[in-house]
Structure formats: C-alpha cells, structure tokens
Amino acid sequence: MPADIECTACKLAFSVGTYHYHSFDDGYIGSTLLVCRKTGRQHRLEIPHPDRSLAFALESMSSVLIAPKRLAGTMIMLPDDDWARRRIISTRVLADIACDCCSELGTLIDAANPGMRCPNCGEILPRPVAEWMT
Ligand SMILES: [Zn+2]
Ligand SMILES: [Zn+2]
C-alpha cells in the first residue's frame, strides 16, 4: 500500500510502498516504489512473477518531483514517461541496491518514518497526503 508524501515547505513529492499490477502480461506482478533519502529522487523496483525467469528491474525518474499533479486531488501522479534508465538487478534487498542518482548503497527506502526530514530542504515531512490500494 503505497503512501504519497509531499513536503509542505518545498513541495518535493514521492511515493513509497508496494502495489500489485492488474495484469501480469509482461511477467511482472507489481512494483515497490522507492525514494532516495539523500536526493529525494523517485525510484521503483519491478517484481517478477515467481514462475517466470525474469530478474528484478530498477527504474528511476530523471529529476525530483516538485509540486506534481494530483489524481482526484489526493494521490500524487507519477508521470509514466518520466521513468528512465531501466536496469536489471539481482536482488530486492534495498541495502544492496545502488541508487541511480547518487550511486550509493542503502539510500533507497520503501517507507517514510514519522519525523523523516525532506531530502530536498531538510524540513520534517508531513504525514502522507494519500495512502492507496490497488
Ligand atoms: Zn522539502
Ligand atoms: Zn540517491
């Protein structure tokens, strides 16, 4: 159940958490949305169907999201055409995955703890603007 978070101060936005696709046609069953806690860049990890011989795939956006569009005024829209640099990775252990933007290990997170500071401006982030199910 992903959570959408937008910084009150600088409007940096991101979504974190796992959701499942409705169609598994391309062999992937869902994504875990991730954010780099150093830069705020949105990433996602695609999860392959266990019966298929596919690997995990990591994608990221080309820049951070600032004041993105909202869906129905509540959910943050992650623009489809902004995903880039798809690469195959061998693990879903976040500590072992290098961030696309800063190349560091262990900066990608799939949940935002209360009191987490905005990677962009350092303010304490508010509660999620939306938490969604698929
Ligand atoms: Zn901020
Ligand atoms: Zn990073």
10 Cα: distance to centroid of ligand 1 (angstroms):
4
Return the domain boundaries, the chain: 3-124
The bound ligand whose nearest atom lies closest to the alpha carbon of 100 is 2
Full pLDDT tens readout for the chain, 134 residues: 899 999 999 999 999 999 999 888 889 999 999 999 999 999 999 999 988 889 999 999 999 999 999 988 888 988 877 887 899 999 999 999 999 999 999 999 999 988 999 999 999 999 998 887 76
Going by the DSSP 8-state scheme, the letter that residue 115 receives in this structure is T
Ligand having the closest approach to the CA of 123? 1
Pick the closest to residue 99 from 47, 62, 58 (CA basis).
Answer: 58
Tell me, what's the pLDDT at 79?
A: 81
CA quadruple 120, 126, 130, 133: dihedral sign: positive
Instruction: Return the DSSP state at 92.
Output: -
**Which among 18, 105, 119, 106 has a CA at the least distance from the CA of 64?**
119
Q: Ligand 2: distance of its center to the CA of 100 in Å?
A: 6
Contacting residues for 106 by C-beta, under 8 A, at least 6 apart: 94, 95
